[in-house]
Each structure stands twice: as structure tokens, then as C-alpha cells.
Amino acid sequence: MNQLKTVILLGVMTGLVVGAGYYFGGQNGALIALGLSAIMNLGSYWFSDKIILRLYRAKEIPEREQPELHRTLTRLAQMYQMPKPRLYLVNMPIPNAFATGRNEKHAVVAVTNGILELLDKDELEGVLAHELAHIKNRDILVSSIAATLAGAISYIAQMAYYGGLLFGPADRRGDQGNVFSLLVFVILTPIVATLLHLAISRSREYMADETGAQKAHKAEALARALEKMHNVSKRHPLHAEPKFESTAHLFIINPFKRSLLTALFSTHPPIEERIARLRKMR
């Protein structure tokens, strides 16, 4: 069901790109915006592991330091029939984890100091199974496609406004009333695209929960892990710069301080709903 939702949402976003590009700039406008956005996001996708690991100053964990963690990751990778990802440590007291990398052969799983101290063996295995599910389900690629489409729509709206196209259709028709409708369209279209992008991200989180719990048979352990991590993050949220907050979608739960606006534009589903779904699987 979550896979179907993702396909539908990507289809809607594609339709918005084509429709907005054609309306504001014709076929060339749509192609230019899509091309520019694709180039930017392709670079982010191709070098995602290096960018994120450097941003958080993550260090690779030698097997001699965490032999049990490496054994668990090896076993899970074999279950998924994929190469074992590289394992990194992020020096962060908040318990969390994320996966990155452009494909299975270039995948990375990162864990924080906090998660190693907080979770027991089964709970940590549930979290690792969730992260490997993101890699196996190609969520990084799907997220890049969604970001490309959302970015293209934003570029089209900006081109329409700054290029003077906003007032063109109204002047040609002699109907100044169309100016207001075009202005609304320019403002609302990128917002709708962003909401669709976030909806895709939330759908992939549900799918990773489900896939990881089924593969490792750790539905209850993953539910407990999410509950523990959420409680700690709620009491001690991170206050971060925008460049760090833009990576919130990577983590298994959002570690940053929440507000009404961030709740509306959340990259993660409600934690209570995720836990309830996992416990129904049990």
C-alpha cells in the first residue's frame, strides 16, 4: 500500500511539473526547470554519503571496537541479500540512526553514541533492520526523484515571477483579474509540491518500519526503540542550524526541536502511529 501511495504521489508531482512548466513557460520552461533541478539533486544523490558523513563528522567504527554490532549488521545484510553497509558513529548524545549512500554497494549506516547507550540488543537490531530497509527499498533514490520534482516546480514558479511571465497571460488577454489567480498559483504550487514530497518521505518511513520488522522479526523491539528514542528527543531536542535541520528526513526519528510549522512540514509520520502499526504486526 505504501509503495502504491509513493507511485501515486510521484505521479501527481510529475503532473504538477508538466502543468506548471507548460502554463508559465511552455514546454521549454518545464524542461529547463526540470533539468536544473535534476542536476542539483543528482549531485546530492551521488555524493550523499560523503556530504552527510562530513557534515556530522562521522567516523567509521572498526569491527574490533563493536564486534557485536558488526555481527548484527552482517547477519541482517545477509537476510536482505545485500552487501554489508559500512558502519559509522556520529558523536551525538541523542539516540538516533540513519542510512545513506546511492545504492546497496555504496551504502552507509550511521548510529549515534546515544543509541548505543540507550537500546538493548533486540531494539538496536530492529533499528538496524529499519535502516537496511531504506537501502533495500531504494528510498534515497526515491527521495532524490521527489526532491528533483519539487525543486523543478519551485524553479518554474520563480521563472514565472522574475521573468515577467506572471503578467504576460493577463496582458495578452486584457484581463487583469487573471493576475491575482496567477499570483496565487505561483505561491501555492511550490507549497503543494513540498507537501507531496513530505508525504512521500512519511510513506517511505512506514514502509521501512514494516519491512525491517518483518525481515528481522523485531516488530515489538522496534516499537520499543522508537518509543525510547522519541521520549529522549522530546525532553532534549537538538537546536541546530538550517543546514543540519535539512537532514532531518534521514534519521529514524526527527532529533530536532519541534514547532507548529515543523509539525506541519514533518518528514516523519506521527511516532504514535508508527508504534501502533508495529504493535499490530506483533
Per DSSP, helices labelled H in 236-270 are 242-245, 260-264
**Which of 123, 125, 131, 210 is flagged as catalytic?**
131
Cell (9 digits) for 128: 538496524
Cell (9 digits) for 250: 534521514
CB 119 within 8 A of CB 228: yes
Helix (H) or strand (E) holding 34: helix 2-46
98 φψ region: left (φ > 0), alpha (ψ -120 to 50), beta (else): beta
Q: CB atoms < 10 A from the CB of 106, how many?
A: 17
- Burial class from Cβ neighbours inside 10 Å (0-12, 13-18, 19+) for residue 228 reads middle
117 noted as active-site residue = no
What residues does 112 pair with on adjacent strands?
Answer: 90
Report the alpha-carbon distance of residue 14 to residue 34 in Å, rounded.
10
Distant-in-sequence, close-in-space partners of 19: CB < 8 Å, separation ≥ 6? none
Q: CB atoms < 10 A from the CB of 141, how many?
A: 12
CB 221 within 8 A of CB 126: yes
Cell (9 digits) for 150: 519539487
Q: What is the DSSP string of 8-29?
A: HHHHHHHHHHHHHHHHHHHHHH
Active centre residues (catalytic): 131
